[in-house]
Amino acid sequence: MPDPEPVLRVDDLTVAFETIEGKYSALNGVNLEIRPSEIMGLVGESGCGKSSLALAVIGLLPVPPAKVLHGNITFKGNDIVKYTEEAVEKVRGTGISMVFQEPLTSLNPLFTVGDQITEAITVRLQREKATYTKKTAQAEGIDWLRKVGIPDPEGAFHRYPHELSGGMRQRVMIAMALSASPSLMIADEPTSALDVTTQAQILKLTRKLVEEVKASVLFITHDLAVIAQIADRIAVMYTGMVVEEGTAIEIFEKPLHPYTQALLASFPGKESINEPLKVIPGQVPNLTRIPQGCPFHPRCSFAREECTTERPRMKEVSGHKVACVLY
Amino acid sequence: MTLSQNRKDIALTWRILRRDPLAAVGLIIAVAFCGTALAVLILGNSVAPYDPTAINLSLAFQPPSLQHLFGTDNLGRDIFSRAIVATPIDAEIAFAIIGVSASFGLLFGAISGFLGGYVDEVFMRVTDLFLAFPALVLAIAVAVALGPGVTNVILANLVVWWPVYARLSRAGALSLNQTQYVDAARIAGLSKFAILLQHIIPNNISPILVYGTLDLGNAILYASVLSYLGLGAQPPQAEWGRMVFDGQIFLTSAWWISIIPGIIILCIALGFNLLGDALRDVFDPRYRK
């Protein structure tokens, strides 16, 4: 069976930030595909370009200093990199929505939760040219608050953001993002600011609701425990490149790229409770000076001569993709 | 919903006033000032115990007493009455200056900071141009060019007053521009105009309002200075700054003629400063519970 047409396809996307200190290559030829109703997890250390990718997809890269050097982003068959700003404004809200990391600052402190979710719904209804009244939009808003598991949704509807806890605010954000009935929801570290129990609830809820509204998700995190709980497929990023991609099970059971293996080994498990935590030697390279050849070779225990000169290409290996000379 | 919200606001205001007696002093001064101004505007000079312009040389240079609370001036006019009827002039000047420059600055700065790029560059250089002149000198120059009078004092001050508000509003817009809820609104597909109206300007109002209240005292000071220099209200119309000027030659023999209007200006300016401080607490949504 051929793969269904992907909701989002990123081809060879290269983005650089031009600053006084030099050129930061944030993304170096990223390739990524998200299929309908799929949760794609994007993992990597800080500074590997996860958030830049999200911003590029949603058209919020700060230009300048950011600059798309080459590559395409195709969303539902439309190339959105070539769009002018006006055209991007039209695409936004018609198919991509976003949940941010900080639930504290992602709601306007001056308006009630109800005002803000109703606004999001109204924007969608206007776009769909549906007939609605303020009352029905509000009722839908309360309904969404109930769906994301907020106790006393009618009460919460009239509350201000600061009157809700972080977890509750993040639920509101998810409600707002999904109430726009997007084809793709980008979640940039949505659970990183929450405690572990709340994290688990939010992840479960996200999964359930995303299935319900049939949205695809690009889920960005640095936390392997989180990605294991939610993702169908996983892409591992390093220095602005996707180095390995496969289903969640494949990535966790038989990681191929040495970087993925090292990441998983540094993840504390039950059996390693009395051992010191394994770490990856070295640091994520400065994005102004990405190593020649394979960017991971200075930290890689399998590195050979050819790794220092030639940048490995993505290869299909037993059902998943990896960029490493070992395969 | 709105009614209970109002009741909550009143309760909150009351709590802040009780906790902070200085705020209460500020509020009392501001209310007394505005109340007197309104009373004079509505009821005319009859509010004052004596005719503020009636000259009676046999009563000249009376020190403060029960008959004449603030004494009389060199022409025997009752200073208390003159101080009262001068209130609406200063209120009018101060509120007009702050009201117009704050609204204009809010809009100008918000557009500048939100749109950024060339618009911001042009808007801010214009602002710099006005900021570069010493404010008082520019105000005096404009007032001289336009000729003396209350309306011209207002116009002269507006020229130098708005840039500070534009800067304040722009700074607010710049930081709001970076907030995730503005990003979220962009992603949701809201137009620039809608974002400006719903997120940037409302979030900018409270700092502007707080600064504006603090600034009312300054505006009164400036208005008095221009009147002191003879550019504002013209005699026989009573005005505080003018009264200070008229009395200064008698400072050694009849101090009350200029000192008392001076003290009134000081108190009003201080009152609005205290009130502005308290308002900052009231408008901070984190205090709402």
* Cα A29 from Cα A13, distance rounded (Å): 5
Together in a domain, A19 and A39: yes
Counted domains in chain A: 2
Best to test chain B binding among A102, A110, A129, A138 (most B CBs inside 10 Å)? A110
Cβ count within 10 A of residue B31: 12
* Tens digit of each residue's pLDDT (9 = 90 or more) over A206-256: 888 888 888 888 889 888 888 888 888 888 888 888 888 888 888 888 888
Burial of residue A61 (CB within 10 Å: 0-12, 13-18, 19+) is buried
Together in a domain, A191 and A129: no
Could A92 and B179 be called an inter-chain contact, meaning their C-beta atoms sit closer than 8 Å?
A: no
Together in a domain, A125 and A252: no
Burial of residue B133 (CB within 10 Å: 0-12, 13-18, 19+) is middle
Q: What CATH homologous superfamily does B2-287 map to?
A: MetI-like (1.10.3720.10)
Q: Which domain holds residue A228?
A: 8-95+181-322
Cβ–Cβ pairs < 8 A, chains A and B? 66
Q: How confident is the model at residue B126 (pLDDT cuts 50, 70, 90)?
A: very high
- CA dihedral over B32, B34, B39, B45, signed as positive or negative: positive
Q: How confident is the model at residue A174 (pLDDT cuts 50, 70, 90)?
A: confident
**Residue A120 forms contact with B (CB below 8 Å):** yes
Identify the CATH number of the domain in which residue A281 sits. Answer: 3.40.50.300
Cβ count within 10 A of residue A101: 20
Could B187 and A158 be called an inter-chain contact, meaning their C-beta atoms sit closer than 8 Å?
A: no
**pLDDT at position B113, please?**
92
* Cα B123 from Cα B116, distance rounded (Å): 10
pLDDT at position A69 over 80: no
Could B179 and A105 be called an inter-chain contact, meaning their C-beta atoms sit closer than 8 Å?
A: yes
* Alpha carbon distance, N-terminus to C-terminus of chain A: 26
pLDDT at position B106 over 90: yes
Query: Scanning every residue of chain A, which has its alpha carbon at the shortest distance from the alpha carbon of B192?
Result: A89
Could B180 and A110 be called an inter-chain contact, meaning their C-beta atoms sit closer than 8 Å?
A: no
Together in a domain, A200 and A285: yes
Look up residue A238 and give its two tokens. Answer: 């390093």
Q: Indicate the residue among A161, A180, A199 that finishes a domain.
A: A180
Look up residue A42 and give its two tokens. Answer: 């994007």
Q: Please indicate, yes or no, if residue A58 is contained in any of the structural domains.
A: yes
The domains of chain B are located at: 2-287
Relative orientation angle of helices B79-115 and B117-132, to the nearest 10 degrees = 150
**Residue A45 forms contact with B (CB below 8 Å):** no
pLDDT at position A1 over 50: no
Q: How confident is the model at residue A88 (pLDDT cuts 50, 70, 90)?
A: low
How close is the nearest chain A Cα to the Cα of B182, in Å?
8
**CB B167 within 8 Å of CB B109:** yes
* Cα A244 from Cα A254, distance rounded (Å): 12
What are the Cα distances from residue A13, in Å, to A61, A141, A299? 13, 37, 25
Q: Where are the beta strands (DSSP E) in chain A?
A: 8-19, 22-34, 39-43, 66-75, 78-79, 96-99, 184-188, 216-221, 233-238, 241-247, 315-317, 320-322
Together in a domain, A29 and A149: no
Together in a domain, A65 and A161: no
Q: Please indicate, yes or no, if residue A3 is contained in any of the structural domains.
A: no
**pLDDT at position B143, please?**
85
Q: How confident is the model at residue B231 (pLDDT cuts 50, 70, 90)?
A: confident
* Cα B172 from Cα B106, distance rounded (Å): 10
Closest by Cα among B215, B216, B172, B214 to B196: B172
* Alpha carbon distance, N-terminus to C-terminus of chain B: 15
The question of ipTM being above 0.90 is answered as: no
Which of residues 83 through 112 in chain A touch B, CB cutoff 8 A?
89-90, 92-94, 96-98, 100, 102, 105-111
How close is the nearest chain A Cα to the Cα of B202, in Å?
8
* Cα A89 from Cα A67, distance rounded (Å): 18
* Cα A306 from Cα A316, distance rounded (Å): 20
Q: Please indicate, yes or no, if residue A1 is contained in any of the structural domains.
A: no
Together in a domain, A191 and A67: yes
